[in-house]
Amino acid sequence: MMDEFLPFCRPGIDQSDIDAVTAVLKSGWITTGPKTAELEAAICDTVGAEDAVAMSSATAAMHCYLFAAGIGPGDEVITPSMTWVSTANLITLLGATPVFVDVDRDNLMVTAEEIEQAVTPKTRLVIPVHFAGAPLDLDPIRAVAEKHGIAMVEDTAHALGTEYKGTPVGATGDGIFSLQAIKNVTAAEGGVFVTGDAALAERMRRLRFHGLGVDAWDRDTQGRRPQAEVQEPGFKYNPPDLCSALALSQLNRLEQINARRAHIASLYNDAFRDIPEVLPLSPPGWPHTHAWHLYVIRLTEGTRLTRDDFIEAMKARQIGCGIHFQAIHRQKYYRETNATGHARLANTEWNTERICSLPLFPDMREDDAARVIDAIKSILQP
């Protein structure tokens, strides 16, 4: 009998999530409202942030952030090429230049040294990425940004529940979480900006809804008086309560969700010790709690087939894999416009040809993980 297809990710929706969304549908209020306000408060509680502003996506939040920071022509923004395309796209759309820096070969995260070497008089902002659920080495990175007077916003899309040296990621500085469908907690689509800067939070809140002045949420007036005026032109990035209610319900289970992900990851870790063709990412060398957003392996040099052939072979065995990420500087637009870093991105290039994300989601069973491990053995060690 053919096995059922095992996707690389499936959102873990339970009855309480369905009930939470159904309640919003029946409430007479489906767009931004009380559930979004509750979600923002719950995110502050969970990550220890002072302020949170929910948006329709992490990309939307990043757009507002770059806009608020005044990023534009002539500015350089330092970011890894080994990340999701949204960051580089927004920098480019605003007329600024993404400056790609290399990542550590084995944890795929930028280092303070790489960032410092990329700083020029035009550098305005650095956007480091917490990768796969592991934290960046924030202390030295923040020190470099401060030393050069450069702003920093952390891409915390993978890092809900991640801790760095005992502190949740998102508790300090500015960060942007994603609630997209494959993330550890999902709103279907959504994102949350967190900050300790109350004035910036207020501006982001305004920018997410046409730049209108905002009052406390009120059911009858959608949180603002009908007379509210444009304070500055803004966007239309407010998240619907229908989505916020789903994320809020899931957030209640964050510990269980991440524990389940960690358990599946530990099964992979144990198995891959005996498979030399498979090189998982290394855990960072600093104290941390891992949120296990992704389980990324690399096929070692000398493996008998390419990564793309490997993914095809997994698919033939009814197993889905992902690639996180295809290096941005090698994608068509960025290749053709000669977007480059300050140096050759050797580790990024080495990894982009070898990385593969294996199935990892909270409803995965142990026998699903065993199936993935058996398939990998049969493909790589026939």
Ligand X SMILES: *Cc1c(COP(=O)(O)O)cnc(C)c1O
CA distance linking residue 123 with residue 77, whole number of Å: 6
The minimum distance between CB 363 and ligand X, in angstroms, equals 20
Nearest to ligand X of 83, 303 (CB atom): 83
Cα(209)–Cα(194) distance, rounded to whole angstroms?
Answer: 17
Strands 151-155 and 123-126: parallel
Question: Interface with ligand X by CB under 6 A: which residues?
Answer: 57-59, 83-84, 86, 129, 155, 157-158, 178, 180, 191
Cα 32 to the center of its chain, rounded Å: 22
Nearer to ligand X, 86 or 195 (CB): 86
The distance of closest approach from Cβ of residue 176 to ligand X in the complex, given in angstroms and rounded to an integer, is: 7
> Which of residues 303 and 352 has its CB atom nearest to ligand X in the complex?
352
Rounded to a whole number of angstroms, the minimum distance from the CB of residue 155 to ligand X is 5
Task: Assign 77 to helix, strand or coil.
Answer: strand
Q: Write down the H helix ranges in 73-111.
A: 86-93
User: Which has the closest alpha carbon to 115: 89, 155, 78?
Assistant: 78
Provide, rounded to whole angstroms, the least separation between the CB of residue 380 and ligand X.
27
Residue 125 or residue 313: which is nearer to ligand X going by CB?
Answer: 125
Q: What residues act catalytically?
A: 183
- What tokens does 167 get? 């502190």
Give 83 or 258: the residue with its C-beta nearer to ligand X.
83
Rounded least distance, CB 175 to ligand X, Å: 11
Q: Do 318 and 4 touch, CB atoms closer than 8 A?
A: yes
Give the pair of three-digit tokens for residue 333. 């637009």
Task: Identify the helix (H) or strand (E) that includes residue 272.
Answer: helix 254-272
Q: Rg of the chain's alpha carbons, rounded to an integer?
A: 21
